[in-house]
Structure 1
Amino acid sequence: MIRSKQRDLTKAQMMTLPTPRGRLSLNRSLADLTWLRVGGAADAVFQPVDRQDLAEFLAQLPQENAIFPMGVGSNLIVRDGGLRAVVIRLGRGFNAIEMDGDRIHCGAAALDSHVARKAAEAGLDLTFLRTIPGTLGGALKMNAGCYGSYIADAFVGASGYDRAGRAVSYDAKTLGFSYRSSDLPQDVVITDITLRALGRDEPERLHQKMAAQLAKRNETQPTKDRTAGSTFRNPAGFSSTGQADDIHDLKAWSLIDAAGCRGLELGGAQMSPKHPNFLINTGRATAKELEALGELVRKKVYDKSGLTLEWEVMRVGDPKDD
């Protein structure tokens, strides 16, 4: 859980913000930048045009201004009081994808699904990324995975900039990957990631494999609703493999279902009737309601099983003053 330390971006702090070449928006609402469509405003949102623009902005940004790197908001609840930070949001200048043998060099803003498709066109297998929502930078931060494969399995290296605008780089050892997490510092902005294909195959076969994965996802998950993906991590410590012998006893959805929380509602928030580990904004939810429903589910699961579910969805910012 991430909470802001400052209450407001003062006029003096606004006057000391750098003047970048990219777009800098003050007091920018984040609700329309997240998949759940909830949350207050950030102090500022910065969209750099290139790496030099980003590095110079970070170097010139006063140290008292916190930063928050953000992708497309696919795994995020921004609280209703907003976020006391400068959000760094990478865009078109950071989404290139290039092949080099069995390696795939990607900008951190590249969508996971796009990386999977482009790799498949070259006969390279990163098909596990096809159904993971969001950007590769976000996937790296949380060591995203599906069907038994994770970013850590394909990861070669990454680079970006620290809070002072200095170039930094990481390998698998320094990132300390574990289930649904990594040791990537919160105030580092990753710009480039290199992956290694998990195998090779004919492009047509890889695309067929991904089509089957998509069909299964659409059949079992609420893909047409406002969600942020899986709400809680599996206590088992690994993702679903998609195989017939997959064990469900310690999967979050199974525990939620057993606790009677499938379809549970609180205000405009709901646990999906289709897949109970998906938290849904039915169209009128607040961030407070979504988080409160998640906490209620955690309590009910603990009361039923003695197991404590850990949030997979990141929650940031301040609650709204009543």
Structure 2
Amino acid sequence: MSASPGSLRGQEASVSFPDLTPAFRVAMPDLRGKLSPNAPLAGMSWFRTGGPAQALFEPADELDLAYFLTRLDPAIRVLTIGLGSNMLVRDGGLEGVVVRLGKPFQEIAVQGPLIRAGAGAPDVKAASAAAEAGLAGLAFLRGVPGAIGGALRMNAGAYGAEIKDVFVSCRGVRRNGEFVTFSGRDMDFSYRHCGAPADVIFTNAVFSGEAGDKSAILAEMAEITRTRAQTQPVNTRTGGSTFKNPPGAKAWELIDKAGCRGLAIGDAQVSELHCNFLINRGTASAADLEALGETVRARVLETSGVTLEWEIKRVGVPRGAASFFETPAVSAPQNDGA
């Protein structure tokens, strides 16, 4: 089914912001990370669409990140991304700075029953490291796309477990460059939420596993992989679960009941396989995807009386609009996208 004309093409190429990086280099002469003006973000988002970042900063390490933030004008907004799984970048792009946590933040180490993982590390690699060490409890992360930072921010979960179940502590940097650490109580985890300040950029976390049988853990992960392949559009351009499950209900069932399975706007479509997933069939704009999501929300409200809440983080501005962020700062969006 198609509900509107096709998507805009080339929207990212026509968006350009004033270059902030020369002023940054003057204010931050000892910066070691990579700075890029008007950096394309579509390739960093699992939806593969959206506008650019006014400035992209890829820090060399935690100290480099703190140095950058300490010397950054407080009026300039900051958004942090990891693997881009649970993120929809609007077509007008993002004014300000996008911080991307790359390889320096992807290290994973096992120390007895503890797993220390960088905020940029893929969730699946943390699960694999735990399995190789014979530590049970983290296999669910095999079913969570994205990076550890985003998993912390949204208390990501799957297959009956959540981050809060294995969390020990984490470390981060605040917008003013201050280093902070959090315990489980500090994080105040709830469903798809943590209570850490929004301006914190998580840099690493410590999780705890339990002694288990390596072969059994690997078999559990293999089953998760098989189940995901059968029930989710894992090899498509998607952001993962689109909406949070309402209390006492499942979002996909409400969407299906509303007749939205397969619904399309241009190249944006509700997945036929799992209707709580939106997919980009090729040339969908962010506007197409967001409009499709809002159409789904309206139909679910009409048929079930339930207002679905977005789980995917929608950031930036529509093409031609004034700039803003959904929130002042979010860390490594993830599901879940997440």
Written as runs of structure 1 = structure 2, the 5 A alignment for 1:74-93 is 74-93=85-104
**Residues in 1 aligned to 2:24 and 2:117: alpha-carbon distance in whole angstroms:** 33
Q: Does structure 1 residue 147 correspond to structure 2 residue 159?
A: yes
**Residues in 1 aligned to 2:120 and 2:171: alpha-carbon distance in whole angstroms:** 13
Instruction: Give the match for residue 23 of structure 2.
Output: 15
Q: Does structure 1 residue 231 correspond to structure 2 residue 242?
A: yes
Instruction: Give the match for residue 53 of structure 1.
Output: 64
Q: CA deviation at 1:284?
A: 0.9
Question: Alignment partner for residue 166 of structure 1, among 155, 178, 189?
Answer: 178
CA contact (8 A) 2:107 2:118 kept: yes
Question: Alignment partner for residue 138 of structure 1, among 150, 155, 164?
Answer: 150
Amino acid at match of 1:274: L
**Residues in 1 aligned to 2:19 and 2:304: alpha-carbon distance in whole angstroms:** 51
**Residues in 1 aligned to 2:43 and 2:197: alpha-carbon distance in whole angstroms:** 26
Shift of the 164–259 alpha-carbon distance from structure 1 to 2, 3 Å rule, reads same
Q: Stretches of 4+ moved more than 6 A in 1?
A: none
Mark the runs of 5 or more structure 2 residues left unpaired by the alignment: 1-14, 322-338
The percent identity for this pair of structures is 48
**Residues in 2 aligned to 1:141 and 1:261: alpha-carbon distance in whole angstroms:** 29
CA contact (8 A) 1:263 1:276 kept: yes
**Residues in 1 aligned to 2:24 and 2:82: alpha-carbon distance in whole angstroms:** 25
Instruction: Give the match for residue 320 of structure 2.
Output: 321
CA contact (8 A) 1:83 1:317 kept: yes
Question: Alignment partner for residue 199 of structure 2, among 187, 191, 194?
Answer: 187
CA contact (8 A) 1:110 1:135 kept: yes
Scaled by the length of structure 2, what TM-score is found?
Answer: 0.86
User: What is the number of equivalent residue pairs in this alignment?
Assistant: 303
Q: CA deviation at 1:184?
A: 2.6
CA contact (8 A) 1:69 1:187 kept: no
Instruction: Give the match for residue 244 of structure 1.
Output: none
Instruction: Give the match for residue 200 of structure 1.
Output: 211
Higher relative contact order (CA 8 A, sep 6+): 2
**Residues 97-117 of structure 1, C-alpha deviation per residue, up to 9 Å, x if partnerless?**
111221111111111000000
Q: Does structure 1 residue 266 correspond to structure 2 residue 258?
A: no
Shift of the 108–11 alpha-carbon distance from structure 1 to 2, 3 Å rule, reads closer
Mark the runs of 5 or more structure 1 residues left unpaired by the alignment: 1-6, 238-249
| Partner-residue secondary structure (3-state), 2:104 | helix
RMSD over equivalenced CA pairs, Å: 1.7
Scaled by the length of structure 1, what TM-score is found?
Answer: 0.91
CA contact (8 A) 2:38 2:52 kept: yes
